[in-house]
């Protein structure tokens, strides 16, 4: 006959409530781990998604995810000439915030290297990749846009043709993918008035110098579009990404481009490290510490509960000793209750968590490894928690049963 | 030599506390009980009757003196020779004044559990428990929890538990205090029947002088001193007093 279950059955209501309480706590422990994993995974999803072996960024910057990096377009062609490199393409990434349907909409704008990259490699859950080099976008579900929805950005209207899941920037904002031309157009959008003023200013400057006055073509050009002015730079890109031919040592490539004065080169691994050490590291450590704290609190609470459950049973325990029950039976009673409580609480935490976590605004990624690890911790907590109760139970004298 | 005595308690002395709080609850108590003998233990409150039962029941060690059960020396002064709990569950049955049932077990489980403690299969232990409860007239209440039973019913379940492992010694401390006189007498009678059929030695602490005729031997205790007496002297005392 199992005494632990008999006793639980007698106090089933109280036991259930306590178990649910601990279950919630364990759910938070699981969730914290999930948030931590989600954070790491989100931070890496874009870099992993583009699958580049080499990142070429503005000299001495940490790359487009950590800070602003600007490179002239021409770097793409320069990188392409380096031996061992293949598929060099521009990478455009920046974050914007607009009003949409009366609510602020923050999104990461990612430029795809059209026509080589149409977004086939993205985690699409609906729709299709880009099919034309303008006015189409692939949006992440978390942005709340529907397939076919039209969005006005800069001076153009873009149609959502595809939806991705969990494609987010390290800050948690959903990412929308455009061709890199469109991405730049969105980034460098200037209001018409400001363009007009800029042209007037250029024209005035041209008027003021001899060269402008003697060369009517110059005056004309100065008031025209900036793209036609050879002396002005084209819109910048954020980085150049490239693959490596098989068997090429990334360190070699890095050394060659390291000689160029205007860029810094990172391998894919270095880029991931930069991301983890940089933007998400503090958040990550914060969550980790919080999780450790929560685990300790769960352990303490469980130990106290098991201890009070034991205190309530001291009389029956003395009685069991009186009728000759060995210590093994009494320890078993307490340990089993602790384990049952731990196991049920874990189940409760898991079930509630699995239903609740998907509703969170950011990804809560609970891996099987984490599930196992938390299960192990719960097992350990259950055993440790029962020790206090067992210690108390061992101290009870059998004659207390007849006091 | 004949068969060993069921109980041989020699020179038992118990001192509680020390210094100012010292209480000598029992002095040099000696008692020999044969197999199948039913013993009554009388005496005023505070005389040391419970103290005596706790010592011979291997629950509280005596300060001095020894306890041998079934011819085996098991308690020598404060030292115990062997696993007392094991000895208790195999050889001694207890019944106390307040019913002492495990609150989270049903009536039948309370009896079954002691059978399982000595290694009986659950089904065997349960069958025996049901039989005993039936014999004691509480078979119909076997699935009830202790709180759902009357005081007398609880006491009968406790008696069934004491009998479950066919102990060689049953110790009962005012077992009938919660029962009416008819039920009380039934319980005493039951001890006597068990004792005579199984050879179990029974020691009963009681204040109920009406049921004294079921006992083979009567002891009295006063101020920690144990003496053997006779039916006649006890009854004479009563009529005189
Ligand atoms: N644990 C203890 N510590 C100190 N003194 C105790 C303890 N237990 C009993 N005593 C004392 O020992 C004496 C004998 O007590 P005991 O319980 O054996 O009496 P009793 O004959 O069973 O009385 P009653 O008929 O009231 O149950 C009493 O004076 C009591 O106060
Ligand atoms: Mg007493």
B130 touches chain A (CB under 8 A): no
Contact residues for A14 (Cβ-Cβ < 8 A; gap 6+): none
The strand pair at B64-69 and B7-16 is best described as antiparallel
The DSSP element (H or E) to which A234 belongs, if any, is none
Å between B240 CA and nearest CA of chain A = 34
Q: Give the residue carrying structure tokens 């992993």.
A: A48
Hey, whose CA ends up nearest to atom 24 of ligand 1?
Answer: B45
Contact residues for A396 (Cβ-Cβ < 8 A; gap 6+): A314, A317, A318, A321
Predicted local confidence at residue B88, as pLDDT = 92
C-alpha distances in Å from residue B8, one per residue of A169, A295, B222: 86, 57, 20
Residues in chain B closer than 8 A to A3 (CB atoms) = 104-105, 113
For helices A368-395 and A281-312, give the axis angle rounded to 10 degrees: 30
C-alpha distances in Å from residue B222, one per residue of B17, B52, B230: 20, 12, 15
What is the distance between the terminal CA atoms of chain A, rounded to a whole angstrom?
27
A326 C-alpha to ligand 1 centroid (Å): 27
Å between A351 CA and nearest CA of chain B = 30
Contact residues for A68 (Cβ-Cβ < 8 A; gap 6+): A61, A94, A238
User: Whose CA is closest to A348, among A2, A3, A30, A9?
Assistant: A30
User: Would the pTM count as exceeding 0.95?
Assistant: no
- Count CA atoms closer than 13 A to A207's CA, side-chain side: 7
The DSSP element (H or E) to which B61 belongs, if any, is none
Atom of ligand 1 nearest to the CA of B17: 4
Residues with CB under 5 Å of ion ligand 2 are B 50
Q: Is the CB of B46 under 6 A from ligand 1?
A: yes
Cβ burial of A102 (10 Å; 0-12, 13-18, 19+) is: exposed
B149 in any annotated domain: no
Hey, whose CA ends up nearest to atom 25 of ligand 1?
Answer: B45
The DSSP element (H or E) to which A300 belongs, if any, is helix A281-312
Residues in chain A closer than 8 A to B58 (CB atoms) = none
Q: Is the CB of B102 under 6 A from ligand 1?
A: no
Q: What is the CATH number of the domain that holds B82?
A: 3.40.50.300
| Pairs of CB atoms within 8 A across A/B | 65
- Say if CB B7 and CB B32 are below 8 A apart: yes
The strand pair at A136-140 and A156-164 is best described as parallel
CB-based contact A323 B88, cutoff 8 Å: yes
Q: Is B122 left (phi over 0), alpha (psi -120 to 50) or beta?
A: alpha
> Mean pLDDT over all residues of chain A?
87
B158 in any annotated domain: no
B127 touches chain A (CB under 8 A): no
Å between B233 CA and nearest CA of chain A = 31
Of A108-117, A182-191, A254-263, highest mean pLDDT: A254-263
CA distance B186 to B156: 10
CA distance B64 to B51: 13
Predicted local confidence at residue B237, as pLDDT = 65
B39 in any annotated domain: yes
Contact residues for A341 (Cβ-Cβ < 8 A; gap 6+): A15, A18, A19, A22, A302, A305, A306, A382
What does the DSSP assignment read for A204-222?
A: HHHHHSHHHHH-HHHHHHH
Q: Is the CB of B16 under 6 A from ligand 1?
A: yes
B140 in any annotated domain: no
B221 in any annotated domain: yes
Cβ burial of A214 (10 Å; 0-12, 13-18, 19+) is: exposed
* pLDDT average, residue stretch A99-113: 87
Q: Give the residue carrying structure tokens 């000895």.
A: B87
Predicted local confidence at residue B241, as pLDDT = 44
The number of helix segments (H) and strand segments (E) in chain B equals 7, 11
Here the ipTM equals 0.90
Ligand 1, from B29, B41, B46, B60: best to mutate by most atoms within 8 Å of Cβ?
B46
A384 pLDDT higher than 80: yes
Predicted local confidence at residue A227, as pLDDT = 67
Q: Is the CB of B141 under 6 A from ligand 1?
A: no
A12 touches chain B (CB under 8 A): no
C-alpha distances in Å from residue B121, one per residue of A107, B101, B232: 69, 21, 48
Ligand 1, from B50, B62, B175, B226: best to mutate by most atoms within 8 Å of Cβ?
B50
CB-based contact A402 B98, cutoff 8 Å: yes
What's the full length of chain A, in residues?
Answer: 403
Residue of B nearest to A2 (CA): B113
C-alpha distances in Å from residue A252, one per residue of A35, A59, A242, A255, A270: 38, 18, 14, 5, 15
- Say if CB A36 and CB A77 are below 8 A apart: no
CB-based contact A323 B122, cutoff 8 Å: no
Predicted local confidence at residue A200, as pLDDT = 83
Contact residues for B179 (Cβ-Cβ < 8 A; gap 6+): B151, B152, B155, B187
Cβ burial of B205 (10 Å; 0-12, 13-18, 19+) is: buried
Å between A328 CA and nearest CA of chain B = 11
B57 in any annotated domain: yes
Of A242-246, A289-293, B26-30, highest mean pLDDT: B26-30
What tens digit of pLDDT does each residue of A308-328 get?
A: 989 999 999 999 999 999 999
Q: Is the CB of B21 under 6 A from ligand 1?
A: no
Hey, whose CA ends up nearest to atom 6 of ligand 1?
Answer: B16
Q: For A325, which of B59, B104, B117 is closest by C-beta distance?
A: B117
B192 in any annotated domain: yes
CA distance A20 to A346: 9
Hey, whose CA ends up nearest to atom 26 of ligand 1?
Answer: B45
Residue of B nearest to A10 (CA): B104
- Say if CB B59 and CB A400 are below 8 A apart: no
Report percent pLDDT > 90 for chain A: 37
Q: How many structural domains are present in chain B? A: 1
CA distance B211 to B193: 14
Cβ burial of A52 (10 Å; 0-12, 13-18, 19+) is: buried
CA distance A270 to A395: 59
Domain coverage including residue B184: 7-100+168-240
Predicted local confidence at residue A401, as pLDDT = 83
Token duo for residue A251: 């360190």
CA distance A363 to A351: 17
Residue of A nearest to B84 (CA): A324
Q: Which residue has the higher pLDDT, A49 or A341?
A: A341
B224 C-alpha to ligand 1 centroid (Å): 9
CB-based contact B105 A3, cutoff 8 Å: yes
Predicted local confidence at residue A279, as pLDDT = 66
Q: Which residues of chain B have pLDDT under 70?
A: 1-2, 236-241
- Which A residues, 297 through 336, put their C-beta within 8 Å of a C-beta on chain B? 315-316, 319-326, 329
User: Whose CA is closest to B173, among B41, B16, B23?
Assistant: B41
The DSSP element (H or E) to which A33 belongs, if any, is helix A12-50
Q: Is the CB of B60 under 6 A from ligand 1?
A: no
Token duo for residue A348: 């409760």
B49 in any annotated domain: yes
What does the DSSP assignment read for A161-177?
A: EEEESS-B-TTS-BEEE
The strand pair at B23-33 and B201-205 is best described as unpaired
- Which B residues, 68 through 87, put their C-beta within 8 Å of a C-beta on chain A? 85-87
Q: Give the residue carrying structure tokens 């078979």.
A: B139
Residue of A nearest to B103 (CA): A316
* pLDDT average, residue stretch A113-130: 85
- Say if CB A349 and CB A364 are below 8 A apart: no
């Amino acid at each position: 006959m199992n005494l632990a279950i008999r006793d639980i059955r007698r106090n089933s209501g109280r036991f259930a409530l306590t178990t649910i309480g601990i279950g919630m706590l364990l759910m938070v422990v699981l969730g914290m781990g999930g948030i931590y994993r989600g954070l790491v995974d989100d931070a890496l999803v874009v870099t992993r998604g583009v699958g580049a072996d080499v990142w070429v960024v503005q000299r001495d910057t940490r790359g487009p995810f950590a800070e602003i990096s600007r490179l002239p377009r021409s770097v793409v062609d320069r990188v392409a000439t380096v031996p061992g490199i293949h598929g060099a393409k521009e990478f455009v990434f920046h974050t914007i915030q607009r009003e949409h349907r009366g609510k602020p909409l923050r999104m990461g704008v990612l430029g795809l290297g059209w026509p080589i990259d149409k977004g086939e490699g993205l985690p699409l859950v609906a729709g299709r990749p880009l099919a034309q080099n303008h006015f189409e976008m692939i949006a992440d579900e978390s942005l709340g846009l529907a397939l076919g929805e039209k969005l006005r950005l800069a001076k153009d209207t873009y149609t959502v043709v595809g939806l991705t899941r969990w494609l987010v920037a390290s800050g948690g904002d959903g990412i929308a993918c455009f061709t890199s031309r469109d991405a730049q157009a969105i980034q460098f959008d200037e209001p018409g008035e400001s363009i007009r003023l800029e042209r007037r200013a250029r024209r005035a400057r041209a008027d003021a110098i001899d060269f402008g006055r003697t060369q009517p073509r110059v005056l004309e050009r100065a008031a025209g579009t900036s793209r036609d002015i050879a002396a002005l730079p084209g819109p910048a890109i954020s980085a150049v990404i490239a693959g490596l031919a098989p068997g090429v040592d990334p360190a070699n490539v890095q050394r060659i481009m390291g000689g160029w004065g205007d860029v810094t080169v990172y391998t894919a691994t270095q880029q991931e490290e930069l991301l983890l050490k940089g933007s998400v590291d503090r958040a990550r450590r914060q969550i980790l510490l919080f999780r450790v704290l929560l685990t300790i609190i769960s352990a303490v609470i469980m130990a106290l509960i098991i201890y009070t459950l034991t205190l309530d049973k001291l009389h029956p325990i003395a009685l069991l000793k009186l009728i000759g029950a060995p210590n093994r039976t009494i320890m078993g009673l307490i340990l089993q209750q602790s384990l049952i409580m731990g196991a049920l609480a874990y189940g409760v935490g898991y079930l509630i968590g699995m239903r609740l976590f998907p509703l969170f605004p950011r990804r809560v990624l609970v891996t099987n490894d984490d599930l196992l690890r938390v299960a192990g911790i719960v097992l350990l907590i259950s055993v440790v928690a029962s020790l206090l109760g067992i210690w108390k139970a061992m101290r009870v004298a059998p004659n207390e049963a007849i006091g | 030599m004949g068969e060993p005595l069921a109980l041989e308690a020699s020179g038992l002395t118990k001192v509680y506390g020390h210094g100012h709080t010292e209480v000598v609850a029992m002095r040099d108590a000696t008692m020999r009980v044969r197999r199948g003998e039913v013993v009554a233990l009388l005496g005023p409150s505070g005389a040391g009757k419970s103290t005596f039962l706790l010592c011979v029941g291997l629950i509280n060690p005596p300060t001095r003196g020894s306890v041998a059960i079934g011819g085996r020396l098991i308690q020598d002064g404060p030292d115990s020779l062997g696993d007392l709990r094991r000895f208790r569950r195999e050889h001694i049955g207890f019944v106390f004044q307040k019913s002492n049932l495990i609150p989270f077990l049903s009536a039948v489980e309370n009896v079954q559990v002691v059978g399982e403690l000595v290694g009986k299969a659950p089904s065997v232990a349960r069958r025996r428990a049901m039989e005993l409860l039936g014999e004691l007239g509480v078979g119909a209440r076997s699935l009830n929890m202790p709180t759902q039973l009357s005081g007398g019913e609880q006491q009968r379940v406790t008696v069934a538990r004491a009998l479950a492992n066919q102990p060689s010694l049953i110790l009962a401390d005012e077992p009938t205090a919660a029962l009416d006189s008819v039920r009380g007498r039934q319980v005493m009678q039951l001890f006597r029947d068990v004792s005579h059929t199984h050879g179990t030695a029974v020691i009963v602490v009681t204040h109920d002088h009406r049921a004294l005729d079921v006992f083979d031997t009567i002891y009295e205790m006063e101020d920690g001193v144990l003496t053997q007496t006779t039916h006649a002297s006890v009854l004479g005392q009563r009529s005189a007093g």
